[in-house]
Each structure stands twice: as C-alpha cells, then as structure tokens.
Amino acid sequence: MGLNWNSTTVAPVMPEPEQVFLAWLIAQPEDGNLRAAAAQQAARLAEYAGGHPGPRHLRQLFLDLAAELGGGAAASRAMSS
C-alpha cells in the first residue's frame, strides 16, 4: 500500500512578488549600484513570456525602484521597452 500522489492537482507554491523583491533588496551589497542592479533585474524579467502575472508585477517593482533612484518616469519608460 502506498500513497496516492496526483502531482497534477498540486500547484507549486510561488512566493509573492513583494517577498522576492524584498529578499533581493536585502541581499544587495551596501556599496553596490542599486539602480543599475534593479534595472538589470527588470531587463531579465522582461524576457518572461509566460502567463503568470507574478513576474510582470515583480518587474514593475524593479522598474519603480530604478525610477525612484534616478531618472524618474523617463527612465522607467526607457527600461520598459
């Protein structure tokens, strides 16, 4: 007798975008370029082509941070393309 495990009915638990963002933010070096690092993460997330809204929301958090740290809305628009 064994466990009946139907893996198709178990959805993976994904962390909330805000949790991922805060963990990333805390892990950044004190002397690092936070704006450039956030822009780099946003660029990486721009390649996501899946249907889950989490990565898009996470990307927006990075774009907002980069814009807040320098460049304002113009920088955010430039990074979003």
pLDDT in tens, 59-72: 999 999 999 999 65
Which pair of structure tokens corresponds to residue 64? 């907002």
Could you tell me where the DSSP H helices lie in 1-81?
A: 17-27, 34-45, 53-69, 72-80
pLDDT at 46: 96
User: Tokens 């962390």 belong to which residue?
Assistant: 15
Q: Kindly tell me if the per-residue pLDDT of 74 is higher than 50.
A: no
Looking at this protein, which amino acid is placed at residue 23?
A
pLDDT in tens, 16-46: 999 999 999 999 999 999 999 999 999 999 9
Judged by DSSP in three states, 8 sits in helix
Distance (Å, whole) CA 67 – CA 60: 10
